[in-house]
Homo-oligomer: A and B are copies of this chain.
Amino acid sequence: MRGVILFAHGSRDPRWREPIDAVARRMGELDTGVPVGCAYLELMSPDLRTATQALVQRGVASIRIVPLFLGVGRHAREDLPRLVEELRAAHPGIAFSVTAAVGEEPEVIDLLAGLALRPGITSKP
C-alpha cells in the first residue's frame, strides 16, 4: 500500500491550511484506498516526521511526498530534500519519493493562467 503526504509551508493563521485540507479530502473522494496525510514545514503541525510515522503505522510500504508550493525556492529545493534524507534514514523499509512542486506542473500553470483571465472568476469586493 502506498501513502501520500501533502507537504505545505504552514502559517500562524489556523485557517491557512483549509485549502490543503480540501485537497486531502478530495483525494479521499477520488481514491479511498490511498492513505493521505498533510505535513507542514513550519508554524503548523504535524511536521513531516510525524505525518510519516502516522502513515507507517497504517502499514504503507511507500510514501509519495507532494510539495504544495507554487513558488519554488529554498523550501522546496533545500529544506525538503534534507527532511526526506532524515526520513529515509529513520524508515529504511519505506520507499520515499518526492514529486515536483505543484507550481512546476504545466497543468497547474495552465489552469492558473486560465483562471486569471476568466471573466466569471469569483470576485471579492
A24 to chain B, nearest CB (A): 8
Contact A23 B116, beta carbon cutoff 8 Å: yes
A30 CB-CB contact with B under 8 Å: yes
How many chain A residues have a CB neighbour from B under 8 Å? 58
**When A8-B70, A70-B68, A73-B12 are in contact, do A115 and B124 touch as well, CB less than 8 Å?**
no
User: Is A59 located at the chain interface by the 8 A CB criterion?
Assistant: no
- The contact sample of 28 A-B pairs, CB cut-off 8 A, is A4-B117, A8-B70, A11-B71, A12-B73, A15-B72, A16-B71, A16-B72, A16-B73, A19-B103, A19-B108, A19-B109, A23-B109, A23-B112, A24-B113, A26-B113, A27-B116, A31-B117, A64-B116, A66-B115, A66-B121, A68-B70, A70-B70, A97-B124, A98-B123, A100-B122, A100-B123, A104-B122, A105-B121
